[in-house]
């Protein structure tokens, strides 16, 4: 340290002496010009002082070199000691990824010595040398697990001078993140989750039970739910007669998922004389930033569970949904209170609007168009201008569409395309969506962004993708068809409802096609709606003419039935020929036809349309085709479902279908 201070002081003096020597040189030159005798004396003095100055410069440089050499040795020694005592595992690799040097921490991590010249993949397989950075300023970061520990690897490319020129090498050091990850995991596992549990058919079950047994049934349900809360170390609170709030730690959610929410089956098995089984809907919110957000997630999950028909559990994890249960058929609610409330709300929205746009799904069927016509009549009853958004027709609606276009009861702008519809949209325009609740399936999805007031009427089970910004949503999976729902709504909109015969035919046709001539998914309210339409002038003979097929379609349907492959137990898989006007409709008809064959409990028929493969799935109720289709990105009902595939061949779709069937049957066997 003293030597360093001395060198610093000498350097300061030498800097000033440079100035003094320069001044002496100038004075000596001036004196020599004035008097050369005295000038020689001045030059002598200048030379003596100059030699002394040079001597000091040489001594300073020698001292500085010695100091720098000593300092370099100190630094090298410190670097070596630092690398050896570095608190993290550290290694140096050559350009081929081979280990050239490592510190004791790295050797301790690996658990063996003498790993020189081994590649990094041989020592730590998760670190791939080809992924290492190729630029000096880049630092490559990798998280990996080794020997039950979690590490974060940092790698950087370096350059050094050598006798052979500039050589590259890599430095690697590791940070042990095990404790941080364990603490983070522990914090997540201790996070409080919010669950909402609803009894789907509370009123219906109690009405089917003797009055003296009703308290016993409710007590049994409470007992089962309290046992569930005890199993997950949570608390449960009944805040309405058929609604419960459940709080429990995240660490027990996995147990519920592994058992596939067996509480659904446990409660369904309660029988003390009730004719209907008790079903629950469960919604759980996961990973909310706080309890209010977790509650919002739980509400969204329970709404989706109810929209899918109940008797199931839905978990909302931020923007991801998981579904469990949903094995039973939807139970029709005998009361029309909900329909009346929705009708009054729709009437108010229509009265506040200047124009109504009615939109269904792409490739509309008779139920979609019939429901749209019914809503159109509802708007007309309130003297509101209405339009049906339709870009292209399909074979299934051609007959009804032609009759509507030719009828003098409707204006020329009854049907509008997407461009025209977007021109009509505005703050005073009401958008009503029928027979669909998935944005991607809409005839014109852009209208969702342009519309402020949106209403949804649908009878399909809701999926993870659903219209979320609707001011009025009426999704009832127990309904046979959307036409049935609209028929009920119309009866409450005005005191005296009068439909035109063609409108009654359209609504009746929608119910007919979705119930397969009143044989599937029909209830009391289905026949009541049909009776109302008959009184309004619907004629079954005219309706039957909407469903007539040409000879080519009939032959294609027969071919699909003949060539069906029987997979697993009672699963029929077939392909409909594509050289017909509407192969998708024919495929659906073939799927229905296959169920008439003894021994077939579910059918899946594919059709190829415009680089897409469309699939229609049907079942008799023992097989939940909705769950199978959801595995393939589709959806629907327990007995009627479908899916579509882009840029895939029929054979590829067939293989995915078989895999989805295998997974479904495996899950059923576990349950």
Out of 50-64, 189-203, 223-237, 272-286, pick the least confident. 50-64
Cα separation, 636 vs 166, whole angstroms: 66
Name the H helices within 391-516. 398-406, 418-424, 446-450, 482-493, 501-514
DSSP label at residue 98: B
pLDDT digit string, tens, across residues 413-450: 899 999 999 999 888 999 999 999 889 889 999 999 88
Clarify whether residues 69 and 198 are in a common domain: no
Out of 144-148, 248-252, 331-335, 559-563, pick the least confident. 331-335
Q: Is a pLDDT exceeding 70 seen at residue 21?
A: no
Q: pLDDT band at residue 2, thresholds of 50, 70 and 90?
A: very low
Tokens of 63: 């001292």
Out of 11-20, 120-129, 131-140, 229-238, pick the least confident. 11-20
The answer to the question of residue 221 being in a domain is yes
Q: pLDDT band at residue 68, thresholds of 50, 70 and 90?
A: low
Clarify whether residues 36 and 64 are in a common domain: yes
| Sequence-separated (6 or more) residues with CB below 8 Å from residue 601 | 569, 570, 571, 595, 619, 620, 622, 623
Clarify whether residues 235 and 134 are in a common domain: no
| Sequence-separated (6 or more) residues with CB below 8 Å from residue 324 | 257, 260, 261, 264, 312, 313, 314, 315
Clarify whether residues 294 and 341 are in a common domain: no
> What average pLDDT does the segment 637-641 reach?
81
pLDDT digit string, tens, across residues 616-626: 999 887 888 88
pLDDT for the residue numbered 503? 94
228 close to 263: Cβ distance less than 8 angstroms: yes
The answer to the question of residue 659 being in a domain is yes
Q: pLDDT band at residue 46, thresholds of 50, 70 and 90?
A: low
Considering the entire predicted model, what is its pTM?
A: 0.64
Report the CATH number that the domain containing residue 277 is assigned in CATH.
3.30.70.270
Instruction: Pick the closest to residue 623 from 643, 602, 607 (CA basis).
Output: 602
pLDDT for the residue numbered 535? 92
The answer to the question of residue 524 being in a domain is yes
**Please, is 657 exposed, middle or buried when counting C-beta atoms within 10 Å of its C-beta (0-12, 13-18, 19+)?**
buried
The answer to the question of residue 39 being in a domain is yes
Cα separation, 524 vs 333, whole angstroms: 9
> What average pLDDT does the segment 74-85 reach?
56
pLDDT for the residue numbered 393? 86
Q: Is a pLDDT exceeding 80 seen at residue 267?
A: yes
Name the H helices within 86-193. 104-110, 120-123, 178-189
Name the H helices within 240-351. 253-258, 263-268, 291-307, 337-351
In angstroms, what CA-CA distances link 407 with 65, 500, 552, 590?
Answer: 106, 11, 29, 33
pLDDT for the residue numbered 258? 86
Domain count, the chain: 5
Report the CATH number that the domain containing residue 581 is assigned in CATH.
3.10.310.30
Clarify whether residues 460 and 520 are in a common domain: yes
Name which residue leads in pLDDT, 120 or 197.
197
The answer to the question of residue 332 being in a domain is no
Q: Is a pLDDT exceeding 80 seen at residue 45?
A: no
Cα separation, 506 vs 316, whole angstroms: 39
Instruction: State the average pLDDT for the chain.
Output: 84
594 close to 564: Cβ distance less than 8 angstroms: yes
Q: Is a pLDDT exceeding 50 seen at residue 484?
A: yes
DSSP string, 193-246: EEEEEEETTHHHHHHTS-GGGHHHHHHHHHHHHHHHHHHTT-EEEEEETTEEEE
pLDDT for the residue numbered 131? 85
> What average pLDDT does the segment 101-112 reach?
82
Q: pLDDT band at residue 281, thresholds of 50, 70 and 90?
A: very high
653 close to 606: Cβ distance less than 8 angstroms: yes
640 close to 623: Cβ distance less than 8 angstroms: no
The answer to the question of residue 187 being in a domain is no
Name which residue leads in pLDDT, 266 or 60.
266
Beta-bridge partners for 356? 386, 430
Cα separation, 403 vs 393, whole angstroms: 13
- The residue among 325, 351, 386 that closes a domain is 325
pLDDT for the residue numbered 438? 87
Clarify whether residues 456 and 526 are in a common domain: yes
DSSP label at residue 361: B
Element at 424 (helix H, strand E) = helix 418-424
Tokens of 296: 């919002």
Clarify whether residues 615 and 492 are in a common domain: no
Q: Is a pLDDT exceeding 80 seen at residue 3?
A: no
Q: pLDDT band at residue 186, thresholds of 50, 70 and 90?
A: confident
Q: Is a pLDDT exceeding 60 seen at residue 507?
A: yes
Clarify whether residues 19 and 107 are in a common domain: no
> What average pLDDT does the segment 537-559 reach?
83
Q: Is a pLDDT exceeding 50 seen at residue 4?
A: no
Clarify whether residues 490 and 358 are in a common domain: yes
Q: Is a pLDDT exceeding 90 seen at residue 508?
A: yes
| Sequence-separated (6 or more) residues with CB below 8 Å from residue 398 | none
CA neighbours closer than 13 Å in the CB half-sphere of residue 530: 21
> What average pLDDT does the segment 301-320 reach?
85
Number of residues that make up the chain: 671
DSSP three-state, residue 102: strand
pLDDT for the residue numbered 6? 46
200 close to 279: Cβ distance less than 8 angstroms: yes
Cα separation, 608 vs 154, whole angstroms: 51
Token pair 């229905």: residue: 592
The answer to the question of residue 384 being in a domain is yes
Name which residue leads in pLDDT, 194 or 328.
194
Tokens of 220: 């049994």
Out of 271-285, 329-343, 517-531, pick the least confident. 329-343
Clarify whether residues 342 and 293 are in a common domain: no
Clarify whether residues 79 and 98 are in a common domain: no
CA distance from start to end of the chain: 80
Dihedral angle sign, alpha carbons of residues 541, 543, 546, 551: negative
- The residue among 305, 325, 345 that closes a domain is 325
- The residue among 545, 580, 606 that closes a domain is 545
575 close to 645: Cβ distance less than 8 angstroms: no
> What average pLDDT does the segment 519-546 reach?
87
Clarify whether residues 309 and 354 are in a common domain: no
pLDDT for the residue numbered 167? 78
State percent of the chain over pLDDT 70. 86
The answer to the question of residue 346 being in a domain is yes
pLDDT for the residue numbered 207? 85
Q: pLDDT band at residue 580, thresholds of 50, 70 and 90?
A: confident
> Which structural domain range is residue 366 located in?
337-545
Report the CATH number that the domain containing residue 450 is assigned in CATH.
3.90.1640.10
Q: Is a pLDDT exceeding 80 seen at residue 180?
A: yes
pLDDT for the residue numbered 295? 93
pLDDT digit string, tens, across residues 344-375: 999 999 999 999 999 999 888 899 999 999 99
């Amino acid at each position: 340290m003293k030597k360093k201070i001395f060198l610093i002081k000498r350097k300061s003096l030498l800097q000033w002496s440079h100035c003094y020597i320069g001044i002496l040189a100038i004075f000596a030159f001036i004196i020599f010009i004035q008097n050369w005798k005295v000038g020689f004396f001045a030059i002598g003095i200048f030379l003596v002082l100059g030699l002394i100055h040079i001597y000091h410069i040489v001594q300073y440089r020698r001292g500085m070199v010695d100091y720098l050499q000593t300092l370099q040795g100190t630094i090298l020694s410190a670097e070596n000691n630092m690398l050896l005592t570095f608190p993290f595992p550290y290694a140096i690799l050559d350009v081929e990824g081979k280990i050239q040097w490592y510190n004791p921490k790295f050797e301790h991590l690996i658990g063996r010595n003498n790993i020189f010249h081994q590649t990094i993949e041989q020592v730590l397989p998760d670190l791939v040398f080809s992924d290492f950075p190729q630029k000096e300023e880049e630092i490559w970061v990798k998280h990996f697990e080794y020997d039950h520990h979690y590490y974060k690897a940092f790698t950087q490319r370096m350059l050094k001078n050598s006798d052979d020129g500039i050589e590259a090498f890599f430095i690697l050091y590791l940070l042990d993140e095990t404790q941080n990850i364990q603490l983070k995991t522990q914090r997540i596992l201790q996070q409080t989750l919010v669950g909402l549990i609803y009894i789907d058919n509370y009123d219906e079950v109690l009405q089917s039970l003797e009055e003296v047994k009703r308290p016993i049934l409710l007590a049994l349900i409470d007992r089962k739910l309290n046992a569930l809360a005890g199993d997950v170390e949570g608390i449960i609170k009944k805040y309405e007669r058929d609604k419960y709030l459940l709080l429990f730690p995240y660490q027990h959610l996995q147990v519920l998922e592994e058992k596939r929410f067996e509480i659904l089956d446990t409660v369904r098995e309660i029988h003390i004389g009730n004719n209907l089984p008790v079903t629950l809907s469960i919604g759980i919110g996961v990973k909310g930033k706080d309890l209010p957000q977790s509650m919002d997630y739980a509400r969204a999950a329970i709404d989706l569970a109810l929209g899918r028909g109940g008797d199931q559990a839905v978990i909302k994890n931020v923007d991801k949904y998981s579904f469990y249960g949903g094995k039973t058929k939807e139970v029709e609610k005998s009361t029309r209170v909900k329909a009346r409330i929705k009708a009054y709300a729709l009437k108010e929205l229509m009265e506040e609007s200047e124009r109504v746009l009615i939109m269904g799904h792409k490739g509309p069927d008779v139920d979609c168009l019939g429901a749209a016509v019914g809503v159109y009549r509802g708007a007309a009853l309130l003297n509101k201008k209405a339009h049906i958004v339709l870009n292209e027709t399909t074979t299934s609606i051609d007959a009804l569409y032609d009759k509507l276009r030719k009828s003098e009861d409707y204006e020329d702008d009854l049907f509008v395309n997407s461009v025209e519809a977007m021109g009509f949209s505005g703050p005073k325009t009401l958008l009503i969506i029928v027979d669909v609740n998935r944005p991607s399936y809409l005839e014109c999805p852009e209208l969702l962004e342009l519309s402020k007031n949106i209403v949804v009427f649908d009878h399909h089970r809701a999926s993870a993708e659903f219209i979320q910004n609707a001011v009025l949503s009426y999704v009832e999976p127990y309904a046979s068809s959307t036409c049935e729902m609209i028929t009920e709504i119309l009866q409450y909109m005005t005191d005296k409802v009068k439909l035109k015969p063609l409108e009654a035919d359209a609504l009746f046709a929608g119910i007919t096609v979705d119930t397969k001539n009143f044989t599937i998914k029909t209830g009391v309210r289905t026949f009541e709606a049909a009776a109302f339409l008959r009184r309004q002038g619907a004629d079954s003979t005219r309706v039957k003419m909407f469903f007539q097929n040409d000879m080519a379609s009939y032959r294609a349907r027969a071919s699909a039935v003949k060539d069906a492959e029987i997979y697993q137990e009672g699963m029929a898989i077939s392909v409909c020929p594509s050289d017909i006007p509407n192969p998708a409709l024919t495929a659906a008809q073939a799927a229905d036809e296959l169920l008439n064959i003894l021994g077939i409990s579910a059918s899946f028929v594919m059709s190829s349309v415009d680089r897409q493969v469309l699939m229609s799935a049907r079942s008799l109720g023992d097989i939940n085709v909705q769950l199978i289709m959801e595995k393939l990105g589709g959806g629907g009902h327990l007995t009627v479902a479908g899916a579509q595939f882009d840029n895939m061949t029929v054979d590829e779709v067939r293989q995915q279908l078989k895999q989805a069937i295998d997974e479904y049957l495996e899950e059923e066997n576990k349950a």
